[in-house]
Chain A
């Protein structure tokens, strides 16, 4: 970590995104002695993975395996990390990439902040915490979340009432209310785009009525409900705090669907739904848990066994398609389902008190407008060469993880390592050629 980086800093490689793909790429480059700058738009590194409860198919605690990577990157002598920073543009010329980075104000001097959170306790305004998918509360100045790296307070100007309480209690005078956005121009020889994914909205299919019911939730919301330090400290439904007794997973609710512009498979929904169902079965032993699916895609190592284990645990798997979800009295939801279980009577109505929609994975960033990197027709970074899966259309710019298309954590980490090797090989060959020439 270094907050003193300016335009004179010249890393060997720059990594766009501090999620698990970016961190793994950065570590694999840095361990070869190369200087790496990681640019992360959020207030903490760790990406989506640090917000997960557990991971499939091992059911390892997600933060137990993510925090060591975050910490290793943050403390690596060859890695510098900029959080609250966005890559605005990349210009490539003569084998050099000039990267324009916007550093957003945090209103806290990170060199002075000791992460004591006295400012957070002194602040008396709270708003819906995006890290908790809007279910929890966070104060206008706060350390982003429990295991965030860096453990530094950040002020949200949008919600700040400018009362000054934080500055009155800060023991190190770290609060700087007059910080302004700053632009940096960094030159580097190689770039890895690891900008990750977003999920389409739960309201993308109006027939599922997520806009009318707080009990139709996104899978990331359920991850937070299942996380040990989640917003409620346990699984409750958001409309009224009830312990749910009949939970449904509706698969392919945001992908494999031409009508919403996401025709491809998001590749992780089957497995995380099975994982979440298993975790729910542990957290709520009396609950009925049903997964409505078109087909189960359990293609990875150990995934089929994981699916079979879930069936053996009593999770109900119903093959069919949910046509409509209607909110009914008391916060419950009526699902209109066409199943393949009874050919004579395929249409059924079933009632649940919490529904999880499997959203589609969409790109987290579009580099095509502002960088030499082209995107494919699905919007993800194009990787046109089958024999070089991490090479983009731009020489010296590589990609890893879900920036290049939907994939799970295991594949993301493997690809991040591959991108690091491709980038270092590119760098060393380029330098050898320069010396020979």
Chain B
């Protein structure tokens, strides 16, 4: 995906938005850091083998409902998929990164 550079007007507009929402506080930064860390940890765990929500929660010392919520986001945006069931729980597996199409195709 081609990334554009922000124009001076866009940077100025971003500053206006940042100011209008009272800046990006420590709490928001911490929450974002935790979100990215949790997603990374779940992806790493599922790289080894598919797992259920309680298995993920136990391995990562995370409340089960939070693990389930992260999986909904990862599923929605194509990072994980369901891969069968283990007893009363669905198994979740990592979706392989899409390979770049070969040149000429």
Chain B binds chain A: yes
Footprint of B on A, CB under 8 Å?
107, 118, 121-122, 124-126, 128, 132, 135-137, 139, 157-158, 160-162, 164, 167-169, 175-178, 180, 214, 231-234, 236, 238-243, 245
A160 vs B10: C-alpha distance when bound (angstroms): 15
Please encode chain B, from 39 to 79, with 1 for each CB lying within 8 Å of some chain A CB and 0 for all others.
Answer: 00000000000001110010000001101111111011100
Could you give 27 example pairs across A and B, Cβ below 8 Å? A118-B1, A121-B77, A122-B1, A125-B35, A126-B35, A135-B69, A135-B72, A137-B73, A158-B21, A160-B17, A161-B24, A161-B28, A164-B14, A169-B3, A176-B13, A177-B10, A177-B16, A233-B82, A236-B90, A238-B65, A239-B64, A240-B53, A240-B65, A241-B64, A241-B67, A241-B89, A242-B88
Contact between chains at A169 and B1 (CB < 8 Å): yes
Shortest Cβ distance from A163 into B: residue: B14
Whether A124 pairs with B36 at a CB distance below 8 angstroms is yes
- B20 on the A face (CB < 8 A): yes
Whether a CB of chain A sits under 8 angstroms from the CB of B8 is no
Q: Which chain A residue has the least Cβ–Cβ distance from B20?
A: A157
The interface on chain B, measured as residues whose beta carbon lies within 8 A of the other chain's beta carbons, has a size of: 43
Q: How many A-B residue pairs have CB under 8 A?
A: 105
Question: Closest residue to A180 on the B side, CB-wise?
Answer: B20
- 7 extra interface residue pairs, beta carbon distance < 8 Å, beyond A162-B21, A241-B54: A132-B72, A135-B69, A161-B28, A164-B11, A232-B72, A240-B53, A240-B54
Residues of B within 8 A of A139 (CB): 77
Q: Is B100's beta carbon under 8 Å from chain A?
A: no
- Residues in chain A near residue B64, CB distance under 8 A: 239-241
Q: Which of B11, B29, B89 contacts A243 (CB 8 A)?
A: B89
List residues of chain B with CB within 8 A of the CB of A177. 10, 13-14, 16-17
Question: Top 6 closest A-B pairs, CB basis?
Answer: A137-B73, A241-B53, A240-B64, A177-B13, A178-B13, A177-B17
Q: Pick the contact of A236 from B20, B68, B77 — CB < 8 Å?
A: B68
Question: CB-CB < 8 A to B10: which residues of A?
Answer: 164, 167, 175, 177
Return the contact of B17 from the options A168, A178, A231, A236 (Cβ within 8 A): A178
Is B89 within 8 A of A242, CB to CB?
A: yes
Inter-chain CA distance A73–B36, complex, in Å, is 41
Specify which of B3, B5, B65, B77 is in contact with A239 (CB 8 Å cutoff): B65
Q: Is the CB of B69 within 8 A of A128?
A: yes
Q: Are A162 and B4 in contact (CB under 8 A)?
A: no
Contact A243 B90 (CB under 8 A): yes
Complex Cα spacing A168 to B65, Å = 34
Set of chain A residues within 8 Å of B2, measured between Cβ atoms: 169
Contact string against A for B residues 5-39, beta-carbon threshold 8 Å, 1 for contact and 0 otherwise: 11000111110111011001000110010011000
Question: Is the pair A162, B14 in contact by a Cβ cutoff of 8 Å?
Answer: yes
When the two chains form the complex, which single residue of B29, B65, B71 contacts A214, counting CB atoms closer than 8 Å? B65
Output the least CB separation between A108 and chain B (Å): 12
Residues of chain B contacted by A245 (CB below 8 angstroms): 88
C-alpha spacing A220/B95, complex, angstroms: 30
Task: Give the Cβ gap from A157 to chain B, nearest Cβ, in Å.
Answer: 5
A169 to B16, CA, bound (A): 20
With A125-B32, A164-B6, A239-B64 in contact, do A157 and B88 touch (Cβ < 8 Å)?
A: no
Residues of chain B lying within 8 A (CB to CB) of residue A242? 53, 88-89
Task: Report chain B residues within 8 Å CB of A164.
Answer: 6, 10-11, 14
State A241–B73 Cα separation when bound (angstroms): 14
Q: How far is the CB of B46 from chain A (nearest CB, A)?
A: 14
Bound-state Cα–Cα, A288 to B73, Å: 30
Given the contacts A158-B21, A239-B65, A241-B64, A168 and B77 also touching, CB distance less than 8 Å: no
Known: A160-B17, A162-B17, A178-B13. A126 touches B1 (CB 8 A): no
Bound-state CA distance A232–B81 (Å) is: 10
In angstroms, Cα B29 to Cα A176, docked, is 23
Contacts of B1 in A (CB 8 A): 118, 122, 169
Task: Name which residue of chain B comes closest to A238, CB basis.
Answer: B65
Q: Are A167 and B6 in contact (CB-based, < 8 A)?
A: yes
Q: Which residues of B contact A126 (CB under 8 A)?
A: 35, 73
Cβ–Cβ < 8 Å partners of A238 in chain B: 65, 68
- Whether A234 contacts B4 in the complex (CB less than 8 A), given A137-B72, A239-B64, comes out as no
- What residues of B have a CB within 8 angstroms of the CB of A118 in the complex? 1
Nearest-CB residue, chain B, relative to A155? B17
Task: Tell me the bound Cα distance from A90 to B89 in angstroms.
Answer: 53
A-chain residues with CB within 8 Å of residue B85 when the two chains form the complex: 243
B28, A168: Cβ atoms under 8 Å? no
B4 and A168 contacting across the interface, CB-CB below 8 Å: yes
Chain B residue contacts of A240, Cβ below 8 A: 53-54, 57, 64-65, 68, 89
Q: Determine whether the beta carbon of A241 is less than 8 Å from that of B52.
A: yes
> Which A residues lie within 8 Å of B57 (CB)?
240
Q: Kindly state the separation between the CA atoms of A178 and B16 in the bound complex, as whole angstroms.
A: 6
Known interface pairs A164-B6, A177-B13; A234-B90 also in contact (CB < 8 Å): yes
Minimal beta-carbon separation of B10 from chain A (angstroms): 5
